[in-house]
Amino acid sequence: MSFVDTLRQWDEAVTCADREDLPEALSIFLSIQQPNSKICFDIGCLHLLNQDLDAAEKAFDCSIRKDEHLAVAFFQRGITFYKQKRYEESSADFQRAFKALRNNQLIDYKALGLRYILYACEVLHNVALAEAQLGNWENAQKNLAKALDYKTEAKLSVIDKALQATLKQKLFRLVEFPSKTLFKPNKHYVAELEKKDYLGKAKVVASVVPQDEFSGFAPLQPQVEDGPAAPKEPEVLRALEGEAHTVLFEFVPETNDELAVVPGNIVFVLQKGTDNWAYVVFNERKGLVPYNYLEPTLDISLGSKKIKQGVARLHSRDPPRIPERIQGLSPGSTQQQPEDNSCFVKIRFTFNFAVLVPSGSSYMVLIEKISKKLNLNSTVITLSSDSRGKNLIDNNTEMEDVWSRAQGGRITLWCTTKEQSDGKPQKEVYLVALHSYESSNPEDLSFQEGDKIKLLSKVNQDWLEGQCNGNTGIFPASFAEEVPVDGQ
């Protein structure tokens, strides 16, 4: 079977799967004579959906034989063994999946055609569960403790709950791969399958210049959009835009324009400001991180060994001081520095944000700005000048003392909400997810379509903060809609 035929059948099978016609999708997959590793993986996923565990095992065996570095195939075969109650083999495959991650926090398979992120902490979570099934509770606890080193904030609660369960020698839930998620063929290759008319048909044209009386037949022209007039820039060069740097210290963002990174991540610096902040790209997201948290990576081909050595040199040290921001949010940003009579007030809430007010403003001016930002009544907002909430700021506070603590036109305050003045708590608002949302960013909230999300706050017009399945984070507002509280 030719490559073109294989590609065509692969695309047809995936299309059937997207239509929920899984039997037809499996039939087409099985008719492919020389399936590659990804196709074998897809076949295994469909067998797993049908609870045909023996056939799924054979398909994942084939996938691994063709690509021994495909961590997600080891992960899926481990799940298959677990469902067959072959816990020793399951634990071994989960450990092979973890080894294939090569000390990375995650692998995002999007570039390979699979919309899935394999997290190291979830792999170790499943290793621990398999060990717990074997009665090896001590090994289970060790693997969960190790998972904490690879945690992301979005996955932290899962690990914590599992660790608490092992302390009581109780089993916990298996982290499963969504088996309806399949590897898809390269969309550019699929586009080439359609026949193109490079000559097209002659057509009558007329000049748009009033003085030009020409009309007649236009010469035959190629009809392909974006034809091969010039060679395209290789995809990898666009992906690796900027200078590669290794992250040496964990950085937790305090504003929406900053980016969360952990030691060992490779980021690409697009621009370095004079304030010692760097505008970087990581996992297709851009944002700001302190440049003194980074180290240039001269040769990324040296792999994780060089990264680990670079991180180990500074691992025992405290992170350097985060530099003050004197630039805009990002290249091209229009945000300006505060004028002499203005002050940036950074508010630490369940998320962080900033408001700009004239320096020396009254309490009412400040609280109205904040209440408008949070979309809350000012009467339910409590401000303090310290994280413990001891130094409260209210209408009777001498604001001169508050503004005297501002440095360089900036001051940080802490914000909490309290019950309404009538003693009744604020009405809880719940949303229902219209679409599934998965993100590798620690500050984001992942959920599946149909999940109920408790709304905690409104970050801005486009982003909300919520709580779902024990996790807290931000998510796109367009991915959910409000439902009545009674509809929980």
- Which CATH number fits the domain that encloses residue 410? 3.10.20.90
Based on the fold, state whether residues 15 and 70 are members of the same structural domain.
Answer: yes
The total of structural domains in the chain comes to: 4
Q: What is the mean pLDDT of residues 213-239?
A: 40
Based on the fold, state whether residues 58 and 19 are members of the same structural domain.
Answer: yes
CB-CB contact of 7 with 39 (8 Å): no
Based on the fold, state whether residues 75 and 41 are members of the same structural domain.
Answer: yes
Based on the fold, state whether residues 479 and 406 are members of the same structural domain.
Answer: no
* Residue 420, pLDDT score: 39
Based on the fold, state whether residues 413 and 453 are members of the same structural domain.
Answer: no
Based on the fold, state whether residues 372 and 270 are members of the same structural domain.
Answer: no
Q: Is residue 228 part of a domain?
A: no
Based on the fold, state whether residues 381 and 405 are members of the same structural domain.
Answer: yes
Give the range with max mean pLDDT: 56-60, 247-251, 253-257: 56-60
Based on the fold, state whether residues 34 and 115 are members of the same structural domain.
Answer: yes
Domain ranges, residue 379:
342-417
Question: Tens of pLDDT along 304-330?
Answer: 444 444 444 444 456 777 776 654 444
What CATH number is associated with residue 438? 2.30.30.40
Based on the fold, state whether residues 402 and 438 are members of the same structural domain.
Answer: no
Question: Tens of pLDDT along 129-177?
Answer: 999 999 999 999 999 888 888 876 555 678 888 888 888 889 999 999 9
Q: Provide the 8-state DSSP code for 301.
A: G
Q: Is residue 337 part of a domain?
A: no
Q: Nearest to residue 182, comparing CAs of 298, 31, 25, 57?
A: 25
Which of 151, 167, 183 lies at the terminal end of a domain, its last residue?
167
Based on the fold, state whether residues 18 and 124 are members of the same structural domain.
Answer: yes
* Residue 427, pLDDT score: 65
Based on the fold, state whether residues 45 and 153 are members of the same structural domain.
Answer: yes
* Residue 71, pLDDT score: 92
Based on the fold, state whether residues 33 and 102 are members of the same structural domain.
Answer: yes
